Amino acid sequence: MITLAAVYAFAGLIFAAFALLSALDRTHRKRFGNAAFWSLVALSFLAGDYLGDFGNGLLVLGLVTLSGSGALGRSDPPTTSAEQRRLEAGRRGNRLFLTALIIPATALAGTLLLPHVTIDGAPLVDPRQVTLVSLALGVIVALAVAMIWLRAPLAAPLQEGRRLIDAVGWAAVLPQMLAALGAVFALAGVGDVVGTYASAWIPAGNLFATVAAYAMGMALFTMVMGNAFGAFPVMTAAIGLPLLIRQYGGDPAIVAAIGMLSGFCGTLMTPMAANYNIVPAALLELSNRNGVIREQIGTAIPLLGVNLILIYVLAFR
């Protein structure tokens, strides 16, 4: 059975390739810093289960040390020339985006179809992870189609991937770290503390106020942590599970799903979500480093209100 371990292994091999290519790039002034950083990321994907808590903690400290000491830098590996790219773009136009659409199409098809595929009565893919496995499969299929269609050099995907990941730098691992921080907060009982204060302030028996506290709390806590996956276990333990689901009988799937969307509204409004809001501003060389956030606030706030209403209307029918 194909499990999430296969996706981790695939990601780990990609990061290992980035590390190797960085180490071999003699034109890159900080090649060894990049190689060490992506090697540690690869190790976390490939052997994280075997390192234990202490080993993974040391690994995280190594990542922080490398990023904080300025050991990382952008790379500019040779793939195709600027002239070749202009010619291909002119020839193929917007059809180039078709390869990108293969990824969500494959993910959707796999999510719907793979749960029904079995071998000797056993599911081919772990039913709990079918969407993530399908997403990884979509990446592989899109890459194969692009390579055949564009006839790019064999090393181009890895070299271009290295160029992009080096441009993002340490912020690429921020979502995983913040999600892990959310799990730590949940285990430490932060959700119970937040829930105690929320129960004291929310009017007794007021369902709308409770929904508003959950949705807005998801957005605000996401703004603090920079990641909705980090905010989710805390706010769900504090308000979602004890109040909305157990006390008011809300549908767990609707409360959790739209609650996550409420958290993503917070992602749009915080510099803590560096890989979404700060890195693009740096790559686009915007004069205002918070320019991306400023443009998104006008969408995020009304969307948060819509999510609040959707939870209230749909989860308690």
Q: Is 121 part of a structural domain of the chain?
A: yes
**Tokens found for residue 287:** 């004069």
The series of mean pLDDT values per 10 residues for the chain, 317 residues long, is 89 94 90 94 92 89 90 82 78 84 92 87 86 92 90 85 84 75 74 75 86 93 83 86 90 92 92 76 74 90 95 90
pLDDT (tens digit, 9 = 90+) per residue, 267-299? 999 887 777 787 777 667 677 778 888 889 999
Which pLDDT score, from 0 to 100, does residue 175 have? 72
Task: Tell me the C-alpha distance between 31 and 35, whole Å.
Answer: 6
pLDDT for residue 196:
76
pLDDT at res. 10: 93
Same-domain pairing of 74 and 95: no
From 240, 227, 217, 236, select the one nearest 179 (Cα to Cα): 227
**How confident is the model at residue 35, as a pLDDT?**
94
41 and 162 part of one domain: yes
Q: What is the pLDDT of residues 45-94, one digit of tens each?
A: 999 889 888 898 899 899 989 988 888 888 888 777 777 778 877 888 88
- Give residue 142's pLDDT: 93
Do 166 and 49 fall within a single domain? yes
Nearest to 38 by CA among 58, 60, 16: 16
Task: Answer yes or no: do 9 and 66 share one domain.
Answer: yes
Query: What's the pLDDT score for residue 312?
Result: 94
Compute the distance between CA of residue 294 and CA of residue 312 in angstroms, rounded to an integer. Answer: 28
Indicate if 59 and 92 belong to the same structural domain: no
Residue 253 domain-assigned (yes or no)? yes
Q: What is the pLDDT of residue 94?
A: 83
Residues 16 and 115 reside in one and the same domain: no
Q: Are residues 247 and 270 in the same domain?
A: yes
Domains in the chain, number: 3
162 near 19, Cβ under 8 Å? no
* 183 falls within a domain: no
What pLDDT shows up at residue 124?
A: 86
Do both 304 and 203 map to the same domain? yes
What is the maximal distance between C-alpha atoms in the chain? Answer: 67
Same domain, 307 and 196: yes
Domain check: are 219 and 112 in the same one? no
pLDDT of residue 283: 66
Give the per-residue pLDDT at 125. 87
In a shared domain, residues 10 and 120: no
Give residue 132's domain range. Answer: 80-149
- Are 268 and 248 contained in the same domain? yes
